[in-house]
Structures are given as C-alpha cells and as structure tokens.
A = this chain, B = another copy of it.
C-alpha cells in the first residue's frame, strides 16, 4: 500500500480480465442468429466492439474489494454493461439526443432503424436483469433502484430538462443530474459485485453488512462524480477518434456541464479532488470487508490499490 496510486495497475487489471468479461457478455446475450435474428444483430451491434467496459470492471472490483471470488461477478458484471449500453442506445435515438456516432460507428438506430433500436434497448435492459439474478435479490434491487426513475432514468430526464434552460443552471442541479445519470449506476456496479461475492457456508457471509455497503456507496459516489466531470471535460477537449462519439455536442446543445459553469481548469481540479477523496476511502472499504469475512486485512491490499487506481484512471483517461 506504499506504492503511489497510478492508473497503471487498473489498466493491467482491465487487460487481464477483458477477455473473460467479453465471454460473459457473449454468454448472457442470445446468439446473433437466434430468432428474431435482426433484433439480436442489433443487440450485438450495440454491444460489440464495446467501450471501456468500465462498469463490469467495477463489478469485479466491488467483488474483489469485499473478498469475493471474481468468477461470481462476471455474469453480473456483464449485466451492468448491458444496462449501460441500453441507456446509450435509447439516449442516441432521434427523440432524445439524436446522435449519429457512438463507439466510433454509426449509432444503432442509424443502422437498424428507430423501432428496432428502441426494442434492442428494451431487450438489453431486460437481459441485464437476467444476468444479475444470480447475484441474488439485494443485487437485483440495487440495480433496479440505480437504473430507474429515482436513479439513472431520473437523471436523464433532468438532464434533458436542463438543456437550454440556462437561468436554472447551478452546481447543485448539475450535481443532482450527475449523481443520478451516471453516479448511481457506477455505485451499483460496485454494490452488485459485493452482493455477487457474498454467500457461502457460513450464514454470516450470506449478506453483505450495511457498513461495507455504506462505505462502497461513499466511495462510488465520489468516483461517479469524478468520472462525470471528467466526461464533461473530455467532451470539450477530446477528438471524435479518441471518444468514439462526436465531441462538443454538450456545448452545442446548451447542456448543463461543469466546464460550462466553472470553466475547464476548475472542473479538472474538482474531478481530481473527488478522485483523491475516493482513493482515500479505499482502505476503509477493504478493512470493513476483511473484518466481516474474518480474513487478514493484508489479503485485500491488492484490491484496495485497484480501488485507488481506478479513481485516478477516471480523471486521467482520454477516452
């Protein structure tokens, strides 16, 4: 734990587990040729090749940081990615952001038409719950809360409402939007991982204690905010090639963003401060988990380092 946090170890973690995550995704989705083939093609088109797969990686980390076996978090992690991808597919629709570029390719509706893209999104949201079911009732509930009307969907609604409504642009409102639109699902990724890793012979291990969940929530809260502020900054500084989507669209749409409110430099400072705050909580998360599981704290040192490093990664990334 003396090593300075750097995004490097998280990048290594991603390359190590990327293949298994892709396999879990393929295992969760029906085959591309399953009837109706056109629908399954659209779902696969939206899912592969994917982006950073950040959410499944966070599911794996939530599992590892609470002492669970990574394997248990693979399918639930894939579920998180399906859920995230559905939100992108619906967000890109003409009646929403009307975007034509995503993950470096034409958006799903540009290729398959609006009705099939709508239904592919619906099916990805649905299959997400099939994938998370094995992680148990509390995991299903955590995901549904985070993804629903008082979570991600609620955030999307307020985000749309804030467009062009310049008079009501405040940091408080923006924080609410970020916490719901992005933060809730990032935190849920971690929580689902923790739930997925619970269970076992000893009844004490069947349920993740509220103390551990609460610390993960605090950590995820900071991580989610840092991530979304960094995202807002990238929309201004990144290129389409780096982002795989059109940059500058937030600004053009009159969206409420951090850089629009306080400028680019202050936004980047805020993101870094939040990432450091998150990193500072990593030790507490694993200590509480070690106590719950009655294992040596040192057995979770590697996981704690990863929680620190992913926080740094969220603000250092260029994509």
Contact = CB atoms under 8 A, between A and B. Distances in A.
Interface of A: 30, 34-36, 38-40, 43, 86, 90, 93-96, 114-116, 118-123, 125-127, 129-130, 132-134, 136-137, 140-141, 143-145, 147-150, 153-154, 156-158, 160-161, 176
Given A38-B161, A136-B137, A150-B30, A130 B115 contact: no
B156 A119 contact: yes
29 contacts: A30-B149, A35-B154, A36-B149, A36-B158, A36-B161, A39-B157, A40-B149, A93-B118, A94-B95, A95-B114, A95-B115, A116-B157, A119-B156, A119-B157, A120-B149, A123-B148, A123-B149, A123-B154, A125-B126, A126-B149, A127-B148, A129-B129, A129-B144, A130-B141, A130-B144, A130-B145, A133-B141, A136-B137, A137-B137
A83 to B, nearest CB: 9
Contact of A43 (B93, B123, B149): B149
Most chain B CB within 10 A, of A96, A127, A148, is at A148
Contact of A153 (B38, B123, B145, B156): B123
Tallying the copies of this chain within the complex gives 2
A214 to B, nearest CB: 20
A121 B34 CA distance: 25
B90 A118 contact: yes
Contacts of A134: 137
B154 A127 contact: no
A144 B126 contact: yes
A10 B150 CA distance: 36
Contacts of A95: 93-95, 114-115, 118
A142 to B, nearest CB: 9
A218 B136 CA distance: 28
Contacts of A34: 149-150
Contacts of A157: 36, 38-39, 116, 119
